[in-house]
């Protein structure tokens, strides 16, 4: 069943450990800045005839952070949208195996994304692609997505490790 908007209220926003706290500060800051930039941009445009130069592009650079800094958190909390209609069929040992397969396959997908984004970054860095107005290099944005995906891979690796332990414990 889908777990959309599981984070009702404030419980979902309390960090568990330094690791989550750092990521949460990154996400929170990115979204906060996006809010402030759009607001100031509009007020500046209509009130003072002075929009933020390149405000548009600032938002574009903040977007990857607001999307991917949350990925390790969501993954660790198993808060991804799932439609597991059949997962109830897997009980006991079969359930442990299912969990292991799902986590391992998720690891493969996220590792793939990390590698792709890093390659994308290399391509952009080589071609020295810059944004149109601010003339900021685009490559760091791709690298950032790559790194945050790689962090998610570490999270998934730990989850796979725990799955294996559960499986081994179940066997005894």
Which residues of this protein are in contact with another protein, per CB under 8 A?
A: 1-2, 4-5, 7-10, 12-14, 24, 27-28, 30-32, 34-39, 41-42, 46, 56, 59-64, 66-71, 73-74, 79-87, 90, 98, 102, 105-106, 108-110, 112-113, 116-117, 119-120, 138, 141-142, 145
Shortest Cβ 12–another protein spacing (Å): 6
Residue 39 or residue 170: which is nearer to another protein going by CB?
39
Residue whose tokens read 């003072």: 48
Q: CB nearer to another protein: give 74 or 164.
A: 74
Q: How far is the CB of 99 from another protein (least distance, A)?
A: 8
Shortest reach from residue 82's CB to another protein, in Å: 5
For 123-145, b where at least 16 C-beta lie within 10 A, e where not — what string? ebeeeeeebeeeebbbbebbbbb
CB nearer another protein, residue 34 or residue 164 = 34
Task: Give the residue with the Cβ less far from another protein, 141 or 160.
Answer: 141
Residues 97 and 90 sit within 8 Å (Cβ to Cβ): yes
Q: What is the 3-class SS of 115-155, one letter each residue?
A: HHHHHHHHHHHHHCCECCCCCCECHHHHHHHHHHHHHHHHH
Q: How far is the CB of 24 from another protein (least distance, A)?
A: 5
Burial of 115 (0-12, 13-18, 19+ CB in 10 A): middle
Strand, coil or helix: what is 99? helix
């Amino acid at each position: 069943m889908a777990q959309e908007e599981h984070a009702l209220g404030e419980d979902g926003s309390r960090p568990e450990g330094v690791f989550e706290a750092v990521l949460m500060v990154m996400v929170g800051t990115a979204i906060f800045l996006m809010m402030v930039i759009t607001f100031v941009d509009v007020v500046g445009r209509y009130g003072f005839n002075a929009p933020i130069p390149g405000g548009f592009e600032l938002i574009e650079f903040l977007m990857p952070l607001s999307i991917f800094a949350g990925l390790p958190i969501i993954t660790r909390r198993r808060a991804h949208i799932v439609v597991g209609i059949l997962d109830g069929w897997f009980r006991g040992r079969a359930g442990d195996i299912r969990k292991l397969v799902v986590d391992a396959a998720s690891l493969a997908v996220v590792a793939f994304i990390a590698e792709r984004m890093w390659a994308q970054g290399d391509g952009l860095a080589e071609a020295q692609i810059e944004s149109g107005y601010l003339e900021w290099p685009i490559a760091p944005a791709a690298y950032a997505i790559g790194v945050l995906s790689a962090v998610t891979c570490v999270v998934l690796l730990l989850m796979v490790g725990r799955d294996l332990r559960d499986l081994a414990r179940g066997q005894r």
